[in-house]
Amino acid sequence: MKKETKTTQNKVVIYCRVSSKEQEDTGYSLPAQEKLLKEYAERKGLSILKVFSVAESASGTKQRKIFGEMMEYMQKKNIQILLCEKVDRLTRNLKEAVVANDWVEANEERQIHFVKQNLVIHKNAKSDEKFRWDIEIVLAKKYISNLSEEVRKGQKEKIAQGWLPTKPPIGYKTIGEKGHKIHIIDNEISPLIKKMFELYATGNYSLVSLEDEMHKLGLRTKNRGKIYQSRIYDLLLDPFYCGKMRWDGIVYPAKQEPLISKDLFDKVGIILKRRGKTSLATQHNYLFRSKVFCEGCGGVLAWESQKGTIYGHCNNHMKSRNCPLKTYVKEKDVEEQIDVVFEQIAPRNEAVLKWIEEIIKEENGEQINFRETEIQRLNGLLQSIRKQKDRYFEAKIDGEIDLEFCDRKISECRSEEAVLESALEKVNSQTDDYQDLSLVIHELAFKAREIYQKATVDEKKMLLSQLFTNFTQNRYEIRANYSLACDYLLKWMPKLNELYELNNSHTTKGKKSTFVLSHPTMLPLYHKIRTFFAENPNEEF
Protein backbone atom coordinates (compact mmCIF):
# COMPACT_ATOMS: atom_id res chain seq x y z
CA MET A 1 0.00 0.00 0.00
CA LYS A 2 2.87 2.29 0.79
CA LYS A 3 4.43 1.71 -2.61
CA GLU A 4 1.10 2.52 -4.32
CA THR A 5 0.87 5.83 -2.47
CA LYS A 6 4.27 6.88 -3.75
CA THR A 7 3.40 6.09 -7.34
CA THR A 8 0.14 8.07 -7.23
CA GLN A 9 1.04 11.04 -5.02
CA ASN A 10 1.98 13.22 -8.04
CA LYS A 11 -0.90 11.95 -10.19
CA VAL A 12 -3.77 14.37 -10.65
CA VAL A 13 -7.21 14.63 -12.20
CA ILE A 14 -8.46 17.76 -13.98
CA TYR A 15 -12.10 18.89 -13.80
CA CYS A 16 -13.47 21.51 -16.23
CA ARG A 17 -17.00 22.88 -16.51
CA VAL A 18 -18.94 25.70 -18.12
CA SER A 19 -22.58 26.28 -17.18
CA SER A 20 -23.76 28.73 -19.82
CA LYS A 21 -23.05 29.80 -23.38
CA GLU A 22 -22.11 33.25 -22.09
CA GLN A 23 -19.32 31.76 -19.97
CA GLU A 24 -17.97 29.88 -22.95
CA ASP A 25 -17.99 33.05 -25.07
CA THR A 26 -16.14 35.12 -22.44
CA GLY A 27 -13.06 32.99 -21.93
CA TYR A 28 -14.35 30.21 -19.69
CA SER A 29 -14.49 27.60 -22.45
CA LEU A 30 -13.48 24.02 -21.72
CA PRO A 31 -10.29 24.22 -23.85
CA ALA A 32 -9.28 27.44 -22.06
CA GLN A 33 -9.79 25.86 -18.62
CA GLU A 34 -7.95 22.70 -19.63
CA LYS A 35 -4.99 24.70 -20.98
CA LEU A 36 -4.75 26.72 -17.74
CA LEU A 37 -4.82 23.61 -15.54
CA LYS A 38 -2.32 21.69 -17.67
CA GLU A 39 0.15 24.59 -17.49
CA TYR A 40 -0.32 24.69 -13.71
CA ALA A 41 0.29 20.93 -13.42
CA GLU A 42 3.46 21.25 -15.50
CA ARG A 43 4.80 24.02 -13.27
CA LYS A 44 4.11 21.95 -10.15
CA GLY A 45 5.60 18.77 -11.58
CA LEU A 46 2.25 16.96 -11.50
CA SER A 47 1.26 14.21 -13.93
CA ILE A 48 -2.28 14.37 -15.35
CA LEU A 49 -3.99 10.99 -15.35
CA LYS A 50 -7.41 11.98 -16.70
CA VAL A 51 -9.51 15.02 -17.66
CA PHE A 52 -13.22 15.22 -16.85
CA SER A 53 -15.26 17.87 -18.70
CA VAL A 54 -18.87 19.06 -18.49
CA ALA A 55 -20.18 21.15 -21.41
CA GLU A 56 -22.76 23.92 -21.08
CA SER A 57 -25.24 21.83 -23.07
CA ALA A 58 -25.17 18.96 -20.56
CA SER A 59 -28.30 18.43 -18.47
CA GLY A 60 -28.21 18.65 -14.68
CA THR A 61 -28.51 14.88 -14.49
CA LYS A 62 -25.54 14.39 -16.80
CA GLN A 63 -23.46 16.94 -14.86
CA ARG A 64 -24.12 15.08 -11.62
CA LYS A 65 -23.30 11.78 -13.31
CA ILE A 66 -19.90 13.03 -14.55
CA PHE A 67 -19.09 14.49 -11.12
CA GLY A 68 -19.91 11.14 -9.50
CA GLU A 69 -17.81 9.25 -12.05
CA MET A 70 -14.86 11.55 -11.31
CA MET A 71 -15.07 11.01 -7.55
CA GLU A 72 -15.37 7.25 -8.04
CA TYR A 73 -12.40 7.23 -10.42
CA MET A 74 -10.15 9.10 -7.96
CA GLN A 75 -11.17 6.73 -5.16
CA LYS A 76 -10.48 3.67 -7.29
CA LYS A 77 -7.13 4.90 -8.64
CA ASN A 78 -6.07 6.36 -5.29
CA ILE A 79 -5.65 9.85 -6.78
CA GLN A 80 -4.89 12.42 -4.09
CA ILE A 81 -4.97 15.72 -6.04
CA LEU A 82 -7.81 17.35 -7.99
CA LEU A 83 -7.23 20.44 -10.12
CA CYS A 84 -10.03 22.89 -10.88
CA GLU A 85 -10.11 26.46 -12.16
CA LYS A 86 -12.39 27.94 -9.45
CA VAL A 87 -14.75 26.73 -6.74
CA ASP A 88 -17.81 27.42 -8.86
CA ARG A 89 -16.33 25.22 -11.60
CA LEU A 90 -16.30 22.23 -9.22
CA THR A 91 -19.65 22.45 -7.50
CA ARG A 92 -22.87 24.42 -7.77
CA ASN A 93 -24.90 22.75 -5.03
CA LEU A 94 -24.41 21.85 -1.39
CA LYS A 95 -24.75 18.11 -2.01
CA GLU A 96 -21.72 17.98 -4.32
CA ALA A 97 -19.84 20.33 -1.97
CA VAL A 98 -20.39 17.90 0.91
CA VAL A 99 -19.13 15.00 -1.22
CA ALA A 100 -15.98 16.94 -2.18
CA ASN A 101 -15.40 18.07 1.41
CA ASP A 102 -15.83 14.53 2.79
CA TRP A 103 -13.34 13.26 0.21
CA VAL A 104 -10.76 15.84 1.37
CA GLU A 105 -11.35 15.21 5.10
CA ALA A 106 -10.97 11.42 4.73
CA ASN A 107 -7.22 11.58 3.97
CA GLU A 108 -4.56 14.11 4.92
CA GLU A 109 -2.82 13.72 1.54
CA ARG A 110 -5.86 14.74 -0.48
CA GLN A 111 -5.98 18.23 -1.98
CA ILE A 112 -8.19 20.33 -4.24
CA HIS A 113 -6.33 23.11 -6.08
CA PHE A 114 -8.45 26.07 -7.26
CA VAL A 115 -5.87 27.59 -9.58
CA LYS A 116 -7.36 31.00 -10.42
CA GLN A 117 -8.24 31.70 -6.79
CA ASN A 118 -4.84 30.54 -5.49
CA LEU A 119 -6.67 28.34 -2.99
CA VAL A 120 -5.66 24.82 -1.93
CA ILE A 121 -8.08 22.91 0.28
CA HIS A 122 -6.92 19.90 2.35
CA LYS A 123 -7.70 18.38 5.72
CA ASN A 124 -5.18 20.51 7.63
CA ALA A 125 -5.84 23.77 5.76
CA LYS A 126 -5.99 26.94 7.83
CA SER A 127 -9.32 28.10 9.17
CA ASP A 128 -9.40 31.21 6.94
CA GLU A 129 -8.78 29.02 3.86
CA LYS A 130 -11.65 26.72 4.82
CA PHE A 131 -13.77 29.80 5.47
CA ARG A 132 -13.02 31.01 1.93
CA TRP A 133 -13.97 27.53 0.68
CA ASP A 134 -17.32 27.70 2.51
CA ILE A 135 -18.03 31.25 1.29
CA GLU A 136 -17.21 30.36 -2.31
CA ILE A 137 -19.60 27.40 -2.15
CA VAL A 138 -22.41 29.66 -0.92
CA LEU A 139 -21.65 32.22 -3.64
CA ALA A 140 -21.57 29.48 -6.27
CA LYS A 141 -24.93 28.22 -5.05
CA LYS A 142 -26.32 31.77 -5.23
CA TYR A 143 -24.92 32.24 -8.74
CA ILE A 144 -26.50 29.08 -10.11
CA SER A 145 -29.81 29.94 -8.42
CA ASN A 146 -29.75 33.40 -10.01
CA LEU A 147 -28.79 31.88 -13.36
CA SER A 148 -31.72 29.46 -13.15
CA GLU A 149 -34.07 32.32 -12.28
CA GLU A 150 -32.89 34.34 -15.30
CA VAL A 151 -33.31 31.31 -17.54
CA ARG A 152 -36.88 30.80 -16.31
CA LYS A 153 -37.65 34.48 -16.90
CA GLY A 154 -36.29 34.22 -20.43
CA GLN A 155 -38.32 31.08 -21.08
CA LYS A 156 -41.48 32.73 -19.79
CA GLU A 157 -40.96 35.74 -22.04
CA LYS A 158 -40.29 33.52 -25.05
CA ILE A 159 -43.53 31.62 -24.42
CA ALA A 160 -45.44 34.90 -24.08
CA GLN A 161 -44.11 35.86 -27.52
CA GLY A 162 -45.47 32.59 -28.93
CA TRP A 163 -42.19 30.71 -29.42
CA LEU A 164 -40.93 27.48 -27.84
CA PRO A 165 -37.91 28.33 -25.64
CA THR A 166 -35.95 25.23 -26.66
CA LYS A 167 -35.14 23.19 -29.73
CA PRO A 168 -38.20 22.25 -31.82
CA PRO A 169 -39.14 18.61 -32.52
CA ILE A 170 -37.94 16.86 -35.65
CA GLY A 171 -39.56 18.34 -38.75
CA TYR A 172 -38.73 21.92 -37.72
CA LYS A 173 -35.49 23.90 -37.56
CA THR A 174 -34.35 27.07 -35.79
CA ILE A 175 -33.26 30.26 -37.55
CA GLY A 176 -32.37 33.78 -36.42
CA GLU A 177 -29.85 35.46 -34.16
CA LYS A 178 -29.56 35.11 -30.40
CA GLY A 179 -32.62 36.55 -28.70
CA HIS A 180 -34.60 36.52 -31.94
CA LYS A 181 -34.63 32.84 -32.86
CA ILE A 182 -37.77 31.31 -34.34
CA HIS A 183 -38.78 27.87 -35.56
CA ILE A 184 -39.70 27.14 -39.17
CA ILE A 185 -40.68 23.98 -41.03
CA ASP A 186 -37.79 21.82 -42.21
CA ASN A 187 -38.85 21.11 -45.79
CA GLU A 188 -36.53 18.13 -46.01
CA ILE A 189 -37.99 16.16 -43.11
CA SER A 190 -41.46 17.62 -42.59
CA PRO A 191 -43.18 15.59 -45.38
CA LEU A 192 -42.17 12.39 -43.59
CA ILE A 193 -43.49 13.64 -40.24
CA LYS A 194 -46.80 14.57 -41.88
CA LYS A 195 -46.90 11.14 -43.52
CA MET A 196 -46.32 9.53 -40.12
CA PHE A 197 -49.42 11.24 -38.68
CA GLU A 198 -51.51 10.37 -41.74
CA LEU A 199 -50.53 6.68 -41.63
CA TYR A 200 -51.25 6.30 -37.93
CA ALA A 201 -54.60 8.10 -38.31
CA THR A 202 -55.77 5.30 -40.61
CA GLY A 203 -55.83 2.98 -37.59
CA ASN A 204 -53.94 0.34 -39.54
CA TYR A 205 -50.54 0.77 -37.91
CA SER A 206 -49.25 -0.10 -34.49
CA LEU A 207 -46.29 1.91 -33.29
CA VAL A 208 -44.10 -1.09 -34.08
CA SER A 209 -45.25 -1.31 -37.70
CA LEU A 210 -45.17 2.49 -38.01
CA GLU A 211 -41.56 2.49 -36.79
CA ASP A 212 -40.60 0.05 -39.56
CA GLU A 213 -42.63 1.84 -42.22
CA MET A 214 -41.18 5.28 -41.46
CA HIS A 215 -37.67 3.84 -41.43
CA LYS A 216 -38.30 2.39 -44.90
CA LEU A 217 -39.55 5.79 -46.09
CA GLY A 218 -36.31 7.39 -44.89
CA LEU A 219 -37.21 9.05 -41.57
CA ARG A 220 -34.09 9.44 -39.43
CA THR A 221 -32.95 11.39 -36.38
CA LYS A 222 -30.68 14.40 -36.82
CA ASN A 223 -27.78 12.00 -36.26
CA ARG A 224 -29.14 9.72 -39.02
CA GLY A 225 -30.28 7.11 -36.51
CA LYS A 226 -33.56 5.19 -36.41
CA ILE A 227 -36.56 6.74 -34.68
CA TYR A 228 -37.96 4.10 -32.33
CA GLN A 229 -41.57 3.54 -31.33
CA SER A 230 -41.28 5.22 -27.92
CA ARG A 231 -40.04 8.41 -29.61
CA ILE A 232 -42.73 8.15 -32.31
CA TYR A 233 -45.31 7.91 -29.51
CA ASP A 234 -44.04 11.20 -28.03
CA LEU A 235 -43.98 12.91 -31.43
CA LEU A 236 -47.56 11.88 -32.21
CA LEU A 237 -48.68 13.54 -28.97
CA ASP A 238 -46.70 16.76 -29.47
CA PRO A 239 -49.10 19.69 -30.13
CA PHE A 240 -46.21 21.63 -31.71
CA TYR A 241 -47.09 20.03 -35.05
CA CYS A 242 -50.60 21.55 -35.08
CA GLY A 243 -49.46 25.06 -34.17
CA LYS A 244 -49.27 24.95 -30.36
CA MET A 245 -46.58 24.15 -27.81
CA ARG A 246 -46.41 22.25 -24.52
CA TRP A 247 -44.20 23.55 -21.71
CA ASP A 248 -44.14 22.09 -18.18
CA GLY A 249 -47.30 20.15 -18.98
CA ILE A 250 -49.27 23.22 -20.12
CA VAL A 251 -50.27 23.79 -23.77
CA TYR A 252 -49.85 27.36 -25.04
CA PRO A 253 -50.76 29.07 -28.34
CA ALA A 254 -47.73 29.37 -30.64
CA LYS A 255 -46.63 31.22 -33.75
CA GLN A 256 -44.85 28.51 -35.75
CA GLU A 257 -46.53 27.34 -38.95
CA PRO A 258 -48.60 24.18 -38.30
CA LEU A 259 -47.38 21.06 -40.08
CA ILE A 260 -50.70 19.21 -39.75
CA SER A 261 -54.31 20.17 -39.09
CA LYS A 262 -55.83 20.18 -35.60
CA ASP A 263 -58.36 17.59 -36.80
CA LEU A 264 -55.60 15.17 -37.81
CA PHE A 265 -53.74 15.71 -34.53
CA ASP A 266 -56.89 15.08 -32.50
CA LYS A 267 -57.70 11.96 -34.51
CA VAL A 268 -54.25 10.51 -33.83
CA GLY A 269 -54.61 11.39 -30.13
CA ILE A 270 -57.91 9.54 -29.90
CA ILE A 271 -56.39 6.40 -31.42
CA LEU A 272 -53.41 6.52 -29.06
CA LYS A 273 -55.68 7.02 -26.05
CA ARG A 274 -57.99 4.20 -27.12
CA ARG A 275 -55.14 1.75 -27.61
CA GLY A 276 -53.37 2.75 -24.43
CA LYS A 277 -50.33 0.64 -23.57
CA THR A 278 -51.08 -1.81 -26.34
CA SER A 279 -50.00 0.86 -28.86
CA LEU A 280 -46.38 0.62 -27.70
CA ALA A 281 -45.80 -2.97 -28.71
CA THR A 282 -47.41 -5.82 -30.56
CA GLN A 283 -46.10 -9.25 -31.52
CA HIS A 284 -48.91 -10.24 -33.87
CA ASN A 285 -50.60 -8.40 -36.70
CA TYR A 286 -54.21 -9.41 -36.01
CA LEU A 287 -56.83 -8.07 -38.42
CA PHE A 288 -59.28 -6.78 -35.78
CA ARG A 289 -56.79 -5.75 -33.08
CA SER A 290 -58.11 -2.66 -31.20
CA LYS A 291 -61.21 -2.63 -33.40
CA VAL A 292 -63.77 -4.79 -31.53
CA PHE A 293 -65.24 -3.91 -28.11
CA CYS A 294 -67.26 -6.09 -25.74
CA GLU A 295 -70.83 -4.88 -25.08
CA GLY A 296 -70.74 -6.52 -21.64
CA CYS A 297 -67.77 -4.75 -20.11
CA GLY A 298 -66.70 -2.23 -22.73
CA GLY A 299 -63.21 -3.69 -22.98
CA VAL A 300 -61.34 -4.13 -26.23
CA LEU A 301 -61.11 -7.73 -27.46
CA ALA A 302 -57.78 -9.52 -27.20
CA TRP A 303 -56.82 -11.83 -30.06
CA GLU A 304 -54.81 -15.03 -30.02
CA SER A 305 -53.99 -17.92 -32.31
CA GLN A 306 -54.91 -21.48 -31.31
CA LYS A 307 -53.93 -24.33 -33.65
CA GLY A 308 -54.01 -22.06 -36.67
CA THR A 309 -57.37 -20.44 -35.83
CA ILE A 310 -57.54 -16.86 -34.58
CA TYR A 311 -59.97 -16.14 -31.71
CA GLY A 312 -61.01 -12.92 -30.02
CA HIS A 313 -62.41 -12.44 -26.51
CA CYS A 314 -62.79 -9.69 -23.94
CA ASN A 315 -60.41 -9.53 -20.99
CA ASN A 316 -63.06 -9.35 -18.22
CA HIS A 317 -62.82 -5.60 -17.65
CA MET A 318 -65.70 -5.60 -15.12
CA LYS A 319 -64.24 -5.12 -11.65
CA SER A 320 -66.91 -6.85 -9.58
CA ARG A 321 -67.25 -10.09 -11.58
CA ASN A 322 -66.37 -11.80 -14.80
CA CYS A 323 -67.96 -10.36 -17.92
CA PRO A 324 -71.31 -12.18 -18.51
CA LEU A 325 -70.92 -11.85 -22.29
CA LYS A 326 -67.40 -13.22 -22.54
CA THR A 327 -67.34 -15.40 -25.63
CA TYR A 328 -64.58 -16.64 -27.89
CA VAL A 329 -65.37 -15.58 -31.45
CA LYS A 330 -63.44 -16.65 -34.53
CA GLU A 331 -61.87 -14.02 -36.75
CA LYS A 332 -63.35 -15.61 -39.88
CA ASP A 333 -66.85 -15.45 -38.34
CA VAL A 334 -66.41 -11.70 -37.82
CA GLU A 335 -65.36 -11.34 -41.46
CA GLU A 336 -68.42 -13.26 -42.64
CA GLN A 337 -70.76 -10.99 -40.68
CA ILE A 338 -69.33 -7.80 -42.15
CA ASP A 339 -69.08 -9.17 -45.70
CA VAL A 340 -72.71 -8.24 -46.40
CA VAL A 341 -71.76 -4.56 -46.18
CA PHE A 342 -69.66 -4.85 -49.35
CA GLU A 343 -72.75 -5.81 -51.31
CA GLN A 344 -74.98 -3.12 -49.78
CA ILE A 345 -72.67 -0.19 -50.56
CA ALA A 346 -71.72 -1.26 -54.10
CA PRO A 347 -73.34 -0.19 -57.38
CA ARG A 348 -75.16 -3.22 -58.78
CA ASN A 349 -73.17 -3.21 -62.02
CA GLU A 350 -70.90 -1.03 -64.14
CA ALA A 351 -73.89 0.67 -65.77
CA VAL A 352 -75.04 1.96 -62.38
CA LEU A 353 -71.49 3.13 -61.62
CA LYS A 354 -71.37 5.07 -64.89
CA TRP A 355 -74.76 6.62 -64.16
CA ILE A 356 -73.55 7.84 -60.76
CA GLU A 357 -70.48 9.41 -62.36
CA GLU A 358 -72.65 11.39 -64.77
CA ILE A 359 -74.81 12.73 -61.93
CA ILE A 360 -71.80 13.77 -59.83
CA LYS A 361 -70.18 15.64 -62.72
CA GLU A 362 -73.45 17.41 -63.49
CA GLU A 363 -73.70 18.68 -59.94
CA ASN A 364 -70.11 19.94 -59.83
CA GLY A 365 -71.07 23.34 -61.26
CA GLU A 366 -73.34 24.12 -58.30
CA GLN A 367 -70.58 23.31 -55.81
CA ILE A 368 -68.16 25.69 -57.55
CA ASN A 369 -70.67 28.55 -57.24
CA PHE A 370 -71.23 27.75 -53.56
CA ARG A 371 -67.50 27.76 -52.85
CA GLU A 372 -66.90 31.11 -54.56
CA THR A 373 -69.76 32.72 -52.61
CA GLU A 374 -68.40 31.37 -49.32
CA ILE A 375 -64.89 32.63 -50.09
CA GLN A 376 -66.23 36.14 -50.73
CA ARG A 377 -68.21 36.09 -47.48
CA LEU A 378 -65.24 34.92 -45.37
CA ASN A 379 -62.85 37.41 -46.99
CA GLY A 380 -65.28 40.20 -46.14
CA LEU A 381 -65.47 39.14 -42.50
CA LEU A 382 -61.70 38.74 -42.32
CA GLN A 383 -61.09 42.22 -43.73
CA SER A 384 -63.54 43.70 -41.22
CA ILE A 385 -61.97 42.04 -38.17
CA ARG A 386 -58.47 43.09 -39.26
CA LYS A 387 -59.57 46.72 -39.58
CA GLN A 388 -61.10 46.50 -36.13
CA LYS A 389 -57.85 45.09 -34.71
CA ASP A 390 -55.85 47.91 -36.35
CA ARG A 391 -58.13 50.51 -34.76
CA TYR A 392 -57.49 49.08 -31.29
CA PHE A 393 -53.73 49.11 -31.96
CA GLU A 394 -53.91 52.78 -32.95
CA ALA A 395 -55.99 53.62 -29.87
CA LYS A 396 -53.43 51.81 -27.69
CA ILE A 397 -50.53 53.75 -29.20
CA ASP A 398 -52.35 57.11 -28.92
CA GLY A 399 -53.44 56.37 -25.35
CA GLU A 400 -57.06 57.13 -26.16
CA ILE A 401 -58.44 54.01 -24.43
CA ASP A 402 -57.42 51.99 -21.37
CA LEU A 403 -54.43 49.74 -22.26
CA GLU A 404 -55.89 46.66 -20.58
CA PHE A 405 -59.14 47.06 -22.52
CA CYS A 406 -57.20 47.46 -25.80
CA ASP A 407 -55.12 44.37 -25.14
CA ARG A 408 -58.25 42.33 -24.40
CA LYS A 409 -60.01 43.49 -27.57
CA ILE A 410 -56.89 42.90 -29.68
CA SER A 411 -56.68 39.37 -28.28
CA GLU A 412 -60.35 38.78 -29.15
CA CYS A 413 -59.76 40.06 -32.68
CA ARG A 414 -56.77 37.76 -33.10
CA SER A 415 -58.82 34.76 -31.99
CA GLU A 416 -61.63 35.63 -34.41
CA GLU A 417 -59.07 36.25 -37.16
CA ALA A 418 -57.56 32.79 -36.62
CA VAL A 419 -61.02 31.15 -36.82
CA LEU A 420 -61.85 32.95 -40.07
CA GLU A 421 -58.45 32.17 -41.59
CA SER A 422 -58.92 28.50 -40.76
CA ALA A 423 -62.40 28.47 -42.31
CA LEU A 424 -61.13 30.26 -45.41
CA GLU A 425 -58.25 27.83 -45.78
CA LYS A 426 -60.68 24.92 -45.54
CA VAL A 427 -63.00 26.36 -48.21
CA ASN A 428 -60.08 27.20 -50.50
CA SER A 429 -58.84 23.61 -50.23
CA GLN A 430 -62.23 22.36 -51.44
CA THR A 431 -61.46 22.55 -55.12
CA ASP A 432 -62.88 20.00 -57.47
CA ASP A 433 -61.29 17.31 -55.31
CA TYR A 434 -64.67 16.50 -53.80
CA GLN A 435 -65.89 15.44 -57.24
CA ASP A 436 -62.87 13.20 -57.75
CA LEU A 437 -63.31 11.83 -54.24
CA SER A 438 -66.96 11.00 -54.88
CA LEU A 439 -66.07 9.16 -58.07
CA VAL A 440 -63.29 7.21 -56.39
CA ILE A 441 -65.51 6.28 -53.44
CA HIS A 442 -68.21 4.80 -55.62
CA GLU A 443 -65.66 2.96 -57.73
CA LEU A 444 -63.98 1.66 -54.60
CA ALA A 445 -67.33 0.51 -53.22
CA PHE A 446 -67.99 -1.31 -56.51
CA LYS A 447 -64.71 -3.24 -56.18
CA ALA A 448 -64.49 -3.46 -52.39
CA ARG A 449 -65.25 -7.15 -52.03
CA GLU A 450 -62.82 -8.11 -54.79
CA ILE A 451 -60.09 -5.96 -53.25
CA TYR A 452 -60.71 -7.38 -49.78
CA GLN A 453 -60.51 -11.00 -50.88
CA LYS A 454 -57.10 -10.49 -52.49
CA ALA A 455 -55.63 -8.16 -49.86
CA THR A 456 -52.96 -8.77 -47.23
CA VAL A 457 -53.78 -8.26 -43.54
CA ASP A 458 -52.48 -4.67 -43.59
CA GLU A 459 -54.42 -3.90 -46.78
CA LYS A 460 -57.58 -5.38 -45.27
CA LYS A 461 -57.13 -3.22 -42.18
CA MET A 462 -56.73 -0.17 -44.40
CA LEU A 463 -59.98 -0.93 -46.25
CA LEU A 464 -61.92 -1.73 -43.07
CA SER A 465 -60.82 1.53 -41.46
CA GLN A 466 -62.49 3.41 -44.32
CA LEU A 467 -65.78 1.55 -43.80
CA PHE A 468 -66.00 1.12 -40.02
CA THR A 469 -64.96 3.12 -36.99
CA ASN A 470 -65.12 0.04 -34.75
CA PHE A 471 -67.24 -3.03 -33.87
CA THR A 472 -69.03 -4.30 -30.77
CA GLN A 473 -69.39 -7.95 -29.77
CA ASN A 474 -72.43 -9.50 -28.09
CA ARG A 475 -71.44 -13.16 -27.78
CA TYR A 476 -71.31 -14.35 -31.41
CA GLU A 477 -73.04 -11.31 -32.86
CA ILE A 478 -70.90 -8.51 -34.28
CA ARG A 479 -72.35 -5.02 -34.71
CA ALA A 480 -70.57 -2.49 -36.91
CA ASN A 481 -70.21 1.24 -36.30
CA TYR A 482 -69.83 2.83 -39.72
CA SER A 483 -67.73 5.71 -40.94
CA LEU A 484 -69.72 8.72 -42.15
CA ALA A 485 -69.11 7.92 -45.80
CA CYS A 486 -70.07 4.27 -45.39
CA ASP A 487 -73.20 5.19 -43.43
CA TYR A 488 -74.37 7.46 -46.25
CA LEU A 489 -73.64 4.84 -48.89
CA LEU A 490 -75.59 2.20 -46.96
CA LYS A 491 -78.66 4.46 -47.30
CA TRP A 492 -77.81 5.75 -50.76
CA MET A 493 -76.75 2.73 -52.82
CA PRO A 494 -79.63 0.24 -52.22
CA LYS A 495 -82.20 2.90 -53.18
CA LEU A 496 -80.12 4.07 -56.11
CA ASN A 497 -79.74 0.51 -57.41
CA GLU A 498 -83.51 0.09 -57.16
CA LEU A 499 -84.10 3.45 -58.79
CA TYR A 500 -81.82 2.53 -61.68
CA GLU A 501 -83.90 -0.57 -62.38
CA LEU A 502 -87.08 1.52 -62.33
CA ASN A 503 -85.46 4.08 -64.58
CA ASN A 504 -84.68 1.45 -67.18
CA SER A 505 -88.07 -0.23 -67.07
CA HIS A 506 -90.35 2.84 -67.16
CA THR A 507 -91.01 5.84 -69.37
CA THR A 508 -88.20 7.82 -67.74
CA LYS A 509 -85.63 5.89 -69.76
CA GLY A 510 -83.17 8.28 -71.40
CA LYS A 511 -83.67 10.92 -68.66
CA LYS A 512 -81.64 9.34 -65.85
CA SER A 513 -80.05 12.44 -64.33
CA THR A 514 -83.32 14.41 -64.36
CA PHE A 515 -85.17 11.48 -62.87
CA VAL A 516 -82.83 11.01 -59.92
CA LEU A 517 -82.75 14.71 -59.07
CA SER A 518 -86.54 15.09 -59.19
CA HIS A 519 -87.51 11.84 -57.52
CA PRO A 520 -89.27 12.66 -54.18
CA THR A 521 -87.43 9.90 -52.30
CA MET A 522 -84.00 10.37 -53.78
CA LEU A 523 -83.71 14.15 -53.89
CA PRO A 524 -83.13 14.82 -50.15
CA LEU A 525 -80.82 11.85 -49.80
CA TYR A 526 -78.88 12.70 -52.93
CA HIS A 527 -78.29 16.27 -51.77
CA LYS A 528 -77.17 14.94 -48.40
CA ILE A 529 -74.50 12.74 -49.93
CA ARG A 530 -73.43 15.50 -52.35
CA THR A 531 -73.18 18.07 -49.55
CA PHE A 532 -71.31 15.62 -47.34
CA PHE A 533 -68.62 15.06 -49.96
CA ALA A 534 -68.41 18.79 -50.65
CA GLU A 535 -67.93 19.70 -46.99
CA ASN A 536 -65.67 16.75 -46.12
CA PRO A 537 -63.17 16.45 -48.98
CA ASN A 538 -60.68 14.64 -46.73
CA GLU A 539 -63.18 12.29 -45.14
CA GLU A 540 -61.93 8.73 -45.27
CA PHE A 541 -64.03 6.09 -46.89
- Residues 128 and 186 occupy one common structural domain: no
Domain's final residue, options 98, 126, 155: 155
| Backbone φ, ψ for residue 224 (5° rounding) | 70, 20
Domain's final residue, options 129, 155, 181: 155
Question: How much is the average pLDDT of 331-349?
Answer: 83
User: pTM of whole model > 0.75?
Assistant: no
- Residues 126 and 177 occupy one common structural domain: no
CA 475 to CA 452: how far, in whole Å? 25
**Contact 110/11 with Cβ under 8 angstroms?**
no
Question: How much is the average pLDDT of 391-410?
Answer: 83
- What is the pLDDT at residue 259? 93
Average pLDDT, the chain: 79
> Does 442 reside within a domain?
yes
Question: How much is the average pLDDT of 379-398?
Answer: 87
- Residues 515 and 479 occupy one common structural domain: yes
- What is the pLDDT at residue 419? 87
- What is the pLDDT at residue 224? 80
> Does 337 reside within a domain?
no
> Does 305 reside within a domain?
no
CATH number of the domain encompassing residue 256: 3.90.1750.20
Q: Is the pLDDT of residue 92 over 80?
A: no
> Does 57 reside within a domain?
yes
Of 26-35, 233-242, 291-300, the range with the lowest mean pLDDT is 26-35
CB burial of residue 365 (10 Å; 0-12, 13-18, 19+): exposed
Q: Is the pLDDT of residue 513 over 50?
A: no
Say how many domains are in the chain. 3
- What is the pLDDT at residue 502? 66
Question: How much is the average pLDDT of 420-434?
Answer: 71
> Does 30 reside within a domain?
yes
- What is the pLDDT at residue 51? 93
57 — pLDDT class (breaks 50, 70, 90): low
Q: Is the pLDDT of residue 9 over 50?
A: yes
Q: Is the pLDDT of residue 351 over 50?
A: yes
pLDDT digits (tens, 9 = 90+) for 103-156: 988 999 999 999 988 889 999 988 888 888 878 777 766 766 676 677 778 888
Domain's final residue, options 99, 120, 155: 155
- Residues 399 and 474 occupy one common structural domain: yes
Q: Strand 81-84 to strand 11-17: parallel, antiparallel, or no bridges (unpaired)?
A: parallel
pLDDT digits (tens, 9 = 90+) for 161-192: 889 988 999 999 998 887 788 899 999 999 99
- Residues 98 and 189 occupy one common structural domain: no
CATH number of the domain encompassing residue 80: 3.40.50.1390
- Residues 185 and 130 occupy one common structural domain: no
- Residues 393 and 503 occupy one common structural domain: yes
- What is the pLDDT at residue 144? 63
> Does 342 reside within a domain?
no
- Residues 74 and 17 occupy one common structural domain: yes
Q: Is the pLDDT of residue 518 over 70?
A: no
- What is the pLDDT at residue 509? 47
**How far is C-alpha 275 from the geometric centre of its chain's CA atoms?**
16
> Does 25 reside within a domain?
yes
Q: What percent of the chain has pLDDT over 90?
A: 20
Of 416-425, 479-488, 530-539, the range with the lowest mean pLDDT is 530-539
Q: What is the 3-state secondary structure (H, E, C) of 294-329?
A: ECCCCCECEEEEECCEEEEECCCCCCCCCCCCCCCE
- What is the pLDDT at residue 41? 93
- Residues 432 and 528 occupy one common structural domain: yes
Of 200-209, 260-269, 366-375, 519-528, the range with the lowest mean pLDDT is 519-528
- Residues 18 and 126 occupy one common structural domain: yes
- Residues 100 and 209 occupy one common structural domain: no
pLDDT digits (tens, 9 = 90+) for 293-308: 888 888 888 888 888 8
Q: Which domain holds residue 226?
A: 172-280
> Does 316 reside within a domain?
no
**Contact 426/418 with Cβ under 8 angstroms?**
no
Higher-pLDDT residue of 351 and 240 is 240
- Residues 147 and 191 occupy one common structural domain: no
Specify the DSSP element, H or E, that contains 147.
Answer: helix 127-160
